[in-house]
Amino acid sequence: MPSIDALADRLSTYLGKDQVNLVRRAYFYAEQAHDGQRRRSGEAYVTHPLAVANILADMHMDHQSLMAAMLHDVIEDTGIAKEALCAQFGETVAELVDGVSKLTQMNFETKAEAQAENFQKMAMAMARDIRVILVKLADRLHNMRTLEVLSGEKRRRIAKETLEIYAPIANRLGMHSIRIEFEDLGFKAMYPMRSSRIGQAVKRARGNRKELVNKIEESLSHCLAVDGIEGEVSGRQKHLYGIYKKMRGKRRAFNEIMDVYAFRIIVDKVDTCYRVLGAVHNLYKPLPGRFKDYIAIPKANGYQSLHTTLFGMHGVPIEIQIRTREMEEMANNGIAAHWLYKSNGDEQPKGTHARARQWVKGVLEMQQRAGNSLEFIESVKIDLFPDEVYVFTPKGRIMELPKGSTAVDFAYAVHTDVGNSCIACRINRRLAPLSEPLQSGSTVEIVSAPGARPNPAWLNFVVTGKARTHIRHALKLQRRSESISLGERLLNKVLNGFDSTLEKIPEDRVQLILAEYRVEVIEDLLEDIGLGNRMAYVVARRLLTSDAEQLPSSEGPLAIRGTEGLVLSYAKCCTPIPGDPIVGHLSAGKGMVVHLDNCRNISELRHNPEKCIQLSWAKDVTGEFNVELRVELEHQRGLIALLASSVNAADGNIEKISMDERDGRISVVQLVVSVHDRVHLARVIRKLRALTGVIRITRMRA
């Protein structure tokens, strides 16, 4: 086991003597605090914080992070208060320890909820000081290295959480080495048999390929020497989980994956990277479409490198990564590679650090908008697996988005208000559907309109967590305002039967009823009525004085305008349209569903004033309504075209069409037609009747 003296020797290579002594002090404090405590493996507990500090020392982290690593379990496991740590080691270290401690388990109804809640707390802690997550990653890494002592079920649970949350976070922060180790350890714990089989196969394959790898390596080194370029050429090992993911995701056999030979060339300067690229392209022919320049356009986590695939000797494919030493360090340690806190705290974060900060800021924004922790973690998981596409704004700014992103994702990435008011888009100067997936290199322009609102259908195709969270948030606000408006109309309609209105009810009476229903403001009560969770006539009876004994008399039906939005829907069973006699069914949580007066589906509830309300169509009703028609006609050529042109001539629109032959002579066509009202429907039917061979037209109802 590593000792504190060995760690202190390593730290003295990059930290000052006083800082090393502070880390020592934190170790002895932790040793005393954890005295008598043991790990599952039987070792003294203090070996764990020491191992975590060693992992951070590999990354050359600052002394405060190392002190927090030594003390990270003190608050949680020993009962020592945060204030005591603050007095001993200063506020910054105490805050870091407190941040890491808050990420421990709490009791929740489900494991998923617990995981989601923990991650939410992690986002909060990361926002205050991003070193919290680095200490947490090191803590998790040591726990993963010592998983064997736990039960099988617990091992699998921790491994799953590591693969789903911690490995992607390490990747998002550009920490390649830690991500690889997380993935391989998690894979081994989750699928021990698969891991062992792939491991054995890799060993055999490496033995068989050794000679060819050496030959390719020699030819690449010779090629650089001839061009007078200094660089290190090394074979790149594929890690087990990466092989497994490719086999599953791309449905490839093990041999296909291992047949690709991977090399890395490390040089001193950026311009040398491009010289090396030219040299290797002269040596072997490049594969078209397989070159990626991550130096000019870095990945979202700050990763930089040139990637190319070549046809090598004997036609074997060779993958080559070309980068500088600094990029290599960045690729392995990411955000920890050029640690901000090494220099003065006022320096502006650059590169990976700035990107990490930007990501954490985005995560926090998502958390504030999300309805609950599970919705939040769903959004973040989407955000943690970015296979990026790079697109341009009309002014030439580069935007990084996950693969499969659409113009709506792009609009929300530019600004929330742009996303909320988006109505159309131009991709490379041509009008395109909002749902079209973006390709790298495209220029995207968003067309917005004041007063526009997000469409619920966007949730079916958006990819980014930010877009999904903001659309849901906007729809919730929209639904709330529409529910309040409908609830107020329903309540006032009932109160009118008592010759009263909401405005005439005394304020003290309103407050009394709000307290009785356990809501804080009248808007919450009106929202409940609009959503169908409370009955308007029951609330009206409670609002009026108790001597009002009879039910309110009807003041005529409630007028429907068609613009009530998300809280009013039209029944699919009977498809009512303006002009039809209608009735409203109050459905808990959904609001009001409009049915035809004689619809069989609500015949039992028809006379229940708690569930049904008489409705009428307002004079200014707007919108398009679907009606299903059944047309029986003699079979003839170009039948569908004839029907479509007749509907079109009556300014109607066919939403859906299906046909079946009743016999060789007569065809039955089912049409779903979009109309404005009954008069418009009559016009459409008249046009259809005018066609030769039409026998019967029926409007389909429940």
Query: Mind telling me the catalytic residues?
Result: 76-77
Contact between residue 68 and residue 74 where contact means Cβ atoms under 8 Å apart: no
Contact between residue 101 and residue 75 where contact means Cβ atoms under 8 Å apart: yes
Q: Which residues pair with 265 in a beta bridge?
A: 233, 322
What span, in angstroms and rounded, lies between the C-alpha atoms of 257 and 242? 10
Contact between residue 123 and residue 169 where contact means Cβ atoms under 8 Å apart: no
Q: Which residues pair with 629 in a beta bridge?
A: 671, 699
Cα distances from 108 to residues 99, 104, 166, 363, 497, in angstroms, run 20, 12, 20, 22, 48
Contact between residue 341 and residue 131 where contact means Cβ atoms under 8 Å apart: yes
Contact between residue 479 and residue 567 where contact means Cβ atoms under 8 Å apart: yes
- What's the CA angle centered on 219, arms 216 and 224, to 5 degrees? 125
Cα distances from 699 to residues 192, 195, 645, in angstroms, run 62, 62, 19
Exposure of 253 by Cβ count < 10 A (0-12 exposed, 13-18 middle, 19+ buried)? Answer: exposed
Task: Report DSSP state, residue 162.
Answer: I
Label residues 383-413 b or e (16+ Cβ within 10 Å = b).
bbebebbbbbeeeeeebbbbeebbbbbbbbb
Label residues 357-370 b or e (16+ Cβ within 10 Å = b).
bebbebbeebbebb
